[in-house]
Amino acid sequence: MPPSSDGAVERVVVLPKPLHARPAGQLARLAGRHKETTIQLVAGAKKANARGVLAVMAMGAVTGTEVTLTVTGPDAEAVADEVADILTAAEAVDG
Amino acid sequence: MTAVAHRWTGQGVAPGAAVAGSWRADRPIPAGTVHIGPNEVEAAFAAVAAELEQAAERQRQQGRSAAADIVEVGALIAADPDLVDSAKQAAGAEQPLPAVRDAVESYATVLDSLPDEALSQRAADVRQVGRRVLERLAYPDGGRDAPAGDRFVLIATDIGPADLIDHLGGGLVGAVAVRGGANSHAAIVARSVGLPLVTGIDPEVLDLPDATDLLVDADAGTVVAEPSATEVARTEAASAHELERRGRLAAERGLPHVTADGQPFGLYANVASDVEVRLALESGAIGSGLVRTELGFLEADRWPGEADHRRTLAPLLAEAHGRPVTVRLLDFANDKIPPFLSPPAGLPSLLANPAALTAQIRAIVDLGRGVGLRIMVPMVTSPDQVAPVRAIVNAASVTFGVPAPPVGAMVETIAAVRDIDALCQVVDFVSIGSNDLTSEVLDLDRIDPRARTELAAHPRVLSLIGRVVAASNAAGLPPLTVCGDAGSHPTTLPLLLGAGVRSVSVAVARIDETRWRLRRLDAAECRTLFTDALRLGGAGEVAALVEERIEVAMP
């Protein structure tokens, strides 16, 4: 989706896995690396800023949930890609 | 301390013994006014985040990636801007410490209320972060930062897995809790890392001043304050030996799974939670040969619905991503019958409730798409019990657009063995449940303590196992797995290998030991042993024969 007039980039992803602590943590780290950029997630009636791992987990987004992400600020396009990657990546395998 | 020797009895839920100074993890925050403001609160959160980050890094360097991930969640929570802001605002209250605690608790409560179990469990992590922050604020001199001395025994009312993981490699040698049981996550973690844990101890143990000499003997289920020099010496010698033994067993993780004569074997774990999956994979298990699905529903007042199954299975199957996983359908039998069913319950009651069966199968099939999924039917007594399950599995697979997973039978009744050739024609795999099979063959009550694992070495049980292996092979099914304590027992493991078994699924804490044994057993020798054992009269005679012929040097 092209950037809108205010520079916001919006994407919609359907979660292939629940939004548990691990992806929530990856999002918080990503947000921490891009302090000037705001990453907002919306799932149904719940909203969260990606910098807060608790707010993201509190959305209770499970597999199949449609999540709308809105990124504003520097590198919005690239950051939005990374957010979408985190939300749609398969769980990492241990060991 | 008074001069009275303090001795308490509880339940040892993770074996071993240790002695060290005590350290209470959940010391209550002091009453009275403490002068702190938002800056102190912010600094405390930052310090806790840094401390947990370092703890996670330490775990990672020691190759404990699962433990590191668990601790790292705490670090991220301590750095959460919303949480920190709300705690900073609370610091303006007249009684700042309780206000900060309440602020943290409100975040924990939100997570608690989520239906997804993996998410609601994070509430405990939030509380743990809050506890650490409050301790920093209440003891600004750092007196509560860490236990005194380089070794300690952790004491708390409740112990969570993170309480233990946090201090692994940091001097923790044992733990004592007032509450909790053998199936708690803390107990699972304690067993897998070899940390003695005694639960069910009288709350007066909480009143011991920190650094009281404390002996934890989980084998005896006892806790002794200020033990005698003799008791200390004996315990220390035993625990040093145990530590060394575990280290040597764990050193073989990653070595090829082949017997002494080059036969490949499969090593899987029996699991019921995501924590066990993590620990099992870390111990080098290939996957899970038995996921127990009924344990969360033993107190249920009705059949679990699809949402209930999804809640309990999702974290576990996410953790096992990419691995082979055999999920067993609800096994409400013997000592595991919930209040809404009456004995004998078991498979017939599940088959008589197609809605209940469908609910579970749909959850398994949908959530299992990320793993190498197989579905196993427990306590099968007749080949015609498989078709109704397969029909539902196939329908669910169509609904969710996934290939139908293999459907197999857990052979653990005499009736199933009697009909084994016909059974092998209608399943995609079989597994053997050695515990129940042994109990039935020898007419032991499953919950009778006499139903000990070594009785699987009885010639009558062995001949049935041999028959099942032969039938499975003749039908061209994949190598069968034995899921039961026999798969990790020194007497029965060589006999299973001799019977042609090439795959076992064992308790998480037994993985290292089982790999060690299998790598040193010679399958051809075990074959002769098995043949000779069949001619003997009882389990005792077989055990003597195994002892005479098979010698696996353990560390």
- In chain B (555 residues long), the average pLDDT of successive 10-residue segments reads 70 92 82 78 93 82 70 89 94 87 92 83 83 83 63 89 74 90 76 88 91 93 94 90 89 95 97 87 95 88 93 90 97 87 92 97 97 97 97 98 97 97 98 91 66 83 97 97 90 96 94 96 97 95 95 90
- Within A1-95, where are the H helices? 21-33, 53-58, 76-88
Q: Is B69 an 8 Å CB contact of chain A?
A: yes
Q: Is B107 an 8 Å CB contact of chain A?
A: yes
Q: What is the DSSP letter of B342?
A: -
Beta-carbon count within 10 A of B535 CB: 10
Enumerate residues 253 to 282 of chain B having a beta carbon within 8 A of any beta carbon in chain A: 278, 281-282
For residue B188, give the 3-state DSSP assignment.
helix
CB-CB neighbors (< 8 A) of A90 in chain B: 321-322, 370
Nearest CA in chain B to A60: B114
Task: Give CA–CA dist B264/B478, Å, rounded.
Answer: 13
Q: Is A14 an 8 Å CB contact of chain B?
A: no
Substitution target from A17, A19, A20 for chain B, most B beta carbons within 10 A: A20
Q: Is residue A93 in some structural domain?
A: no
Contact (Cβ atoms closer than 8 angstroms) between residue B450 and residue B444:
yes
> Could B111 and A58 be called an inter-chain contact, meaning their C-beta atoms sit closer than 8 Å?
yes
Chains A & B: contacts with CB separation below 8 Å: 90
Task: Give CA–CA dist B169/B163, Å, rounded.
Answer: 13
Say yes or no: ipTM exceeds 0.95.
no
Substitution target from A14, A35, A53, A88 for chain B, most B beta carbons within 10 A: A53
Q: Is residue A4 in some structural domain?
A: no
Contact (Cβ atoms closer than 8 angstroms) between residue B433 and residue B381:
no
Q: What is the DSSP letter of B390?
A: H
Q: Is B341 an 8 Å CB contact of chain A?
A: no
Task: Give CA–CA dist B260/B248, Å, rounded.
Answer: 18
Name the amino acid, one letter, at A60. G
Whats the size of chain B, residue-wise?
555
Which pair of structure tokens corresponds to residue B293? 């699905």
- Residue B64, CA distances (Å) to B19, B57, B61, B125 in order: 25, 10, 7, 19
Q: Beta strands A66-72 and A38-43: pairing type?
A: antiparallel
Task: Give CA–CA dist A51/A56, Å, rounded.
Answer: 8
Q: Beta strands B17-24 and B152-156: pairing type?
A: parallel
Contact (Cβ atoms closer than 8 angstroms) between residue B498 and residue B181:
no
Q: Is A53 an 8 Å CB contact of chain B?
A: yes
Nearest CA in chain B to A61: B116
Q: What per-residue confidence (pLDDT) applies to B10? A: 94
Q: Is residue A95 in some structural domain?
A: no
Rounded to an integer, what is the distance from CA B83 to the centroid of its chain?
Answer: 32
Fold (CATH) for B1-27+146-251: Glucose Oxidase; domain 1 (3.50.30)
Nearest to A66 by CA among A83, A44, A38: A44
- Residue B187, CA distances (Å) to B124, B165, B379 in order: 16, 12, 28
CATH code at position A44: 3.30.1340.10
Task: Give CA–CA dist B392/B338, Å, rounded.
Answer: 24
Nearest CA in chain A to B108: A54
> Could B114 and A63 be called an inter-chain contact, meaning their C-beta atoms sit closer than 8 Å?
no
Substitution target from B52, B53, B80, B109 for chain A, most A beta carbons within 10 A: B80
Q: What per-residue confidence (pLDDT) applies to B165? A: 73
Q: Is residue A61 in some structural domain?
A: yes
Q: Chain A: give the shortest CA distance to residue B43, in Å.
A: 18
| CA neighbours closer than 13 Å in the CB half-sphere of residue A89 | 15
For residue B123, give the 3-state DSSP assignment.
helix
If one counts the domains in chain A, the total is 1
Question: Ramachandran region of residue B30, left (φ > 0), alpha (ψ -120 to 50) or beta?
Answer: beta
CATH 3.40.50.970 applies to domain B29-143: no
Name the amino acid, one letter, at B141. D
Task: Give CA–CA dist B508/B328, Å, rounded.
Answer: 17
Tell me which residue has tokens 């973690």.
B189
Q: Is A33 an 8 Å CB contact of chain B?
A: no
Q: What per-residue confidence (pLDDT) applies to B31? A: 64
Count Cβ atoms within 10 A of the Cβ of residue B387 and give its class: 0-12 exposed, 13-18 middle, 19 or more buried: exposed
Q: Is residue A1 in some structural domain?
A: no
Q: Beta strands B222-225 and B213-217: pairing type?
A: antiparallel
Task: Give CA–CA dist B423/B386, Å, rounded.
Answer: 8
Candidates B82, B278, B323; nearest CB to A52: B82
Do the domains B29-143 and B252-549 sit in the same CATH topology, yes or no?
Answer: no
For residue A49, give the 3-state DSSP assignment.
strand
Q: What per-residue confidence (pLDDT) applies to B3? A: 41
CB-CB neighbors (< 8 A) of B370 in chain A: 17, 90-91
Q: What per-residue confidence (pLDDT) applies to A92? A: 41
Q: What per-residue confidence (pLDDT) applies to B222? A: 95
Nearest CA in chain A to B318: A91
pLDDT at A3 over 70: no
Q: Is residue A3 in some structural domain?
A: no
**What is the end-to-end Cα distance of chain B in Å, rounded?**
40
CB-CB neighbors (< 8 A) of B81 in chain A: 51-52
Q: Is B104 an 8 Å CB contact of chain A?
A: no
DSSP one-letter string for B498-523: HTT--EEEEEGGGHHHHHHHHHH--H
Q: Is B79 an 8 Å CB contact of chain A?
A: yes
Q: Is A62 an 8 Å CB contact of chain B?
A: yes
Nearest to B267 by CA among B17, B512, B505: B505
Q: What per-residue confidence (pLDDT) applies to B354? A: 96
Q: Is residue A31 in some structural domain?
A: yes
Candidates A25, A92, A95; nearest CB to B76: A25
Which pair of structure tokens corresponds to residue B204? 């007066």
Nearest to B103 by CA among B137, B127, B139, B124: B127
> Could A25 and B80 be called an inter-chain contact, meaning their C-beta atoms sit closer than 8 Å?
no
Rounded to an integer, what is the distance from CA B144 to the centroid of its chain?
Answer: 31
> Could A57 and B69 be called an inter-chain contact, meaning their C-beta atoms sit closer than 8 Å?
no
Beta-carbon count within 10 A of B116 CB: 21
Task: Give CA–CA dist B324/B280, Å, rounded.
Answer: 13
Task: Give CA–CA dist B376/B394, Å, rounded.
Answer: 14
Candidates B80, B115, B284; nearest CB to A60: B115
CATH label, B252-549, candidates 1.10.1740.10, 3.40.50.720, 3.20.20.60, 3.90.550.10: 3.20.20.60
Q: What per-residue confidence (pLDDT) applies to B221? A: 94
**Domain ranges, residue A71:** 9-88
Q: Where are the domains of chain B?
A: 1-27+146-251, 29-143, 252-549
Beta bridge partners of B375: B327, B407
Count Cβ atoms within 10 A of the Cβ of residue B257 and give its class: 0-12 exposed, 13-18 middle, 19 or more buried: middle
- Largest Cα–Cα distance in chain B? 81
The helix (H) or strand (E) run that includes residue B450 is none
For residue B12, give the 3-state DSSP assignment.
strand
Which pair of structure tokens corresponds to residue A65? 């949930």
**What is the end-to-end Cα distance of chain A in Å, rounded?**
38
Contact partners, residue B200, CB within 8 Å, separation at least 6: B10, B11, B177, B178, B179, B180, B181
Q: Is A44 an 8 Å CB contact of chain B?
A: no
Nearest to A62 by CA among B79, B421, B119, B526: B119
CB-CB neighbors (< 8 A) of B119 in chain A: 18, 20-21, 57, 60
Tell me which residue has tokens 């050193």.
B251
